[in-house]
Structure 1
Amino acid sequence: MHAVRLHAFGPADNLTYEQTDTPRPGPGQVRIAVRAAGVHLLDTTLRQGLPGPLPPAPLPTIPGREVAGTVDALGEGTDPAWLGRDVVAHLGNVPGGYAELAVSDTDRLHSVPDGLSHAEAVAMVGTGRTALGILGFTPLGPDSLVLVTAAAGGLGTLIVQYAKNAGATVIGLAGGPAKTARVRDNGADLAVDYTRPDWPHHVRTHLDTLGRRATVVYDSVGSTTARAAVGLLGEGGQHVVYGRSGNGHPYSPADDELEARGITSENVLGPGLFRKGGGPRALETRALAEAAAGRLRPAIQTYPLARAADAHRDLETRGTIGKVVLIP
């Protein structure tokens, strides 16, 4: 089979598309003929061998932990009903997704719901479950005024939709006209280009017109963007941190500022992310159901599997819109 392999930690060019051994499923496992493989920002950290929430895999490795496709082989003792089924799985800490064939334990499988493509399913099993985990920290309703940084990304897209479904007023920040147009089309009440130096003034003017301040900032950017966004929170507001794509620098207000303004700041990444939703599998099931019902619609940017290096480069430079998915 063909797969994307990493033989040495480093830049995106180290990802090579090559022929490799065909995997065989073990007891209680299935093999999946992959139709879509998810790419996560964490994949770029693991590719570089940098410390993070997961240890880098032993080399050489096939990256990728999210796959969807059709079961084409069964391991010993595996229920034969899985054979031929369209499935999606988050592989957990074991990579292997950037390939034409991947192996998964059966307890990680979900059937792809009717009406969802493989690419949509793979987006929801990873990014969808994470979005619902993040949203579990902040009850939203008609009185909520939500500001989402990186609102055109895979997570940001789903957070905007969820907040609008809850009746909240939503302001989405994104980089450049193409991305802000997508945020607007996604339902945000206001879409603002945060590469413009005057964007905080633009948002504050809009808030003054409404006579309100933001109640929640969902922040995956950090750096000066997060600092300005937190400045738009009203008393009792929440700063929810789930990333730091802005030059790699997270932002958290000082304790005296939090106390003086009556706001909170919490980094929700880590072991506790999925607890409020009943665990990762429960959130995966719910995310797939939300997409199948049309309430959440993932934004997807696809690349051929052979161009995984391009996908990594574009993701690292914030040149993508939505969830990045590789198509074998």
Structure 2
Amino acid sequence: MHAIRLHAFGPAENLMFEKAEDPEPGPGQVRIAVAAAGVHLLDAALREGGQGPAPAPTPLPTIPGREVAGVVESLGAGVSDDWLGKRVVAHLGFVPGGYAELAVTDADRLHEIPGSLDFAEAVALIGTGRTTMGILQFAEPGPGDVVVVPAAAGGIGTLLVQYAKKAGATVIGLAGGPEKTARVRANGADLAVDYTEPSWPEQVAAYRGRVTAVYDGVGGEAARESVALLTPGGRHLVFGWSAEGINDGAAYLVEGVSEQVLGPEMMRRAGGPNPVRTLELRALAEAAAGRLTPAVQRFPLADAAGAHRALENRGTIGKVVLEP
């Protein structure tokens, strides 16, 4: 098979497209012919040598990637024959191997893809979608709410805009530049604002006055100015801080307003014997019912370096996906 391999930590150019040995499924595992592999900002941090929430540093060489969709083409011992030939999606956890033509994972991580979704959309839902479902547990939008979504053209932002709008909230999406704001508007936002314009907080205030919730995965100045627009009792839900560096989010948390929603509390609220799987199932169900439609930007597998550069430079719209 062909795969993207990382032999040394560093810039995106270190992601090499090359031949690799086909992985073999062990007991309880399946091998997937990969049709789409998700790219996450955390992948870029791991590529540079960061550890993030991973339990241990990544040993090299490695094939990055933790989200895949495709067709089950081989079974390990003990796996039901029913999986063979099925269209599936899986989050690999902290086991890498997704940026490849073939990937192996445990059968209990698989979800069959609903017929209405393509592989790239399914990949977006298994990672980005499950996080969106987790965030919404902390502040369910509804009629009367006015919500601000920074990075509204991103993968999570796209889904938050759709969900909040369908729930009856007034939705204000922030994005950088006219192309992205046009996409946010087309996605259903009541107001799409270019946060690179200095007057954007005034535009929001003039449109609907104070807001009730900020769903924030960005941090930085856009987050601080969004928080200033909150009505008394409003919520600032923090699930990322891409504008401030992936490991530095404390600087813009505001006591009494902000709440970090990633981590153990998200899993506790999801409930069930496998909270991660609970959130994944919710995301897939919302999409199958037509309430969520993920935005996807596709790159060839061979151009994983280009995908990483675009993601790090905020040159993407929606979930970034590699296709062999």
Q: Indicate the TM-score class for this superposition, using the shorter chain for normalisation.
A: over 0.9
The TM-score normalised by the length of structure 2 is 0.95
For residues 112 and 53 of structure 2, the distance between their equivalents in structure 1, rounded to whole angstroms, comes to: 28
- For the residue of structure 2 that corresponds to 1:52, the secondary structure is coil
Structure 1 stretches of 4+ with a deviation exceeding 4 A read none
Contact kept in structure 2, 1:47 and 1:56, CA below 8 Å: no
Indicate the residue corresponding to 1:20 in structure 2.
Answer: 20
Contact kept in structure 1, 2:298 and 2:320, CA below 8 Å: yes
Map of 1:229-240 to 2, 5 A cutoff? 229-240=226-237
For residues 236 and 254 of structure 1, the distance between their equivalents in structure 2, rounded to whole angstroms, comes to: 13
Map of 1:153-192 to 2, 5 A cutoff? 153-192=154-193
For residues 270 and 175 of structure 2, the distance between their equivalents in structure 1, rounded to whole angstroms, comes to: 28
Indicate the residue corresponding to 1:34 in structure 2.
Answer: 34
Instruction: In structure 1, give the amino acid aligned to 2:314.
Output: R
1:272 maps onto 2:265 in alignment:
yes
Indicate the residue corresponding to 2:321 in structure 1.
Answer: 325
Q: CA deviation at 1:56?
A: 3.2
Contact kept in structure 1, 2:217 and 2:239, CA below 8 Å: yes
- For the residue of structure 2 that corresponds to 1:246, the secondary structure is helix
- For the residue of structure 2 that corresponds to 1:142, the secondary structure is coil
1:216 maps onto 2:213 in alignment:
yes
Unaligned runs of 5+ in 2: none
Q: CA deviation at 1:207?
A: 2.2
For residues 42 and 267 of structure 1, the distance between their equivalents in structure 2, rounded to whole angstroms, comes to: 17
- For the residue of structure 2 that corresponds to 1:171, the secondary structure is strand
For residues 164 and 208 of structure 2, the distance between their equivalents in structure 1, rounded to whole angstroms, comes to: 17
1:305 maps onto 2:301 in alignment:
yes
Instruction: In structure 2, give the amino acid aligned to 1:22.
Output: D
For residues 103 and 3 of structure 2, the distance between their equivalents in structure 1, rounded to whole angstroms, comes to: 10
For residues 80 and 208 of structure 2, the distance between their equivalents in structure 1, rounded to whole angstroms, comes to: 56
For residues 253 and 63 of structure 2, the distance between their equivalents in structure 1, rounded to whole angstroms, comes to: 39
Could you report, residue by residue, the CA deviation over 1:257-303 in whole angstroms, capped at 9, with x for unpaired residues? x4xxxxx2111122322332231101111111111111000000000
Larger deviation: 65-74 or 273-282?
273-282
Q: CA RMSD in A?
A: 1.1
Indicate the residue corresponding to 2:291 in structure 1.
Answer: 295
Q: CA deviation at 1:10?
A: 0.7
Contact kept in structure 1, 2:220 and 2:252, CA below 8 Å: no
Map of 1:1-328 to 2, 5 A cutoff? 1-54=1-54, 55-208=56-209, 213-248=210-245, 250=249, 251-255=251-255, 258=256, 264-278=257-271, 279-328=275-324
Q: CA deviation at 1:27?
A: 0.3
For residues 140 and 238 of structure 1, the distance between their equivalents in structure 2, rounded to whole angstroms, comes to: 11
For residues 53 and 310 of structure 1, the distance between their equivalents in structure 2, rounded to whole angstroms, comes to: 25
| Number of aligned residues | 317
Q: CA deviation at 1:139?
A: 2.2
Contact kept in structure 2, 1:130 and 1:274, CA below 8 Å: no
For residues 267 and 63 of structure 1, the distance between their equivalents in structure 2, rounded to whole angstroms, comes to: 27
For residues 274 and 218 of structure 1, the distance between their equivalents in structure 2, rounded to whole angstroms, comes to: 18
For residues 114 and 207 of structure 1, the distance between their equivalents in structure 2, rounded to whole angstroms, comes to: 39
For residues 268 and 196 of structure 2, the distance between their equivalents in structure 1, rounded to whole angstroms, comes to: 35
Contact kept in structure 2, 1:37 and 1:122, CA below 8 Å: yes
Instruction: In structure 1, give the amino acid aligned to 2:265.
Output: G
Could you report, residue by residue, the CA deviation over 1:93-124 in whole angstroms, capped at 9, with x for unpaired residues? 10100000000101000111111101111110
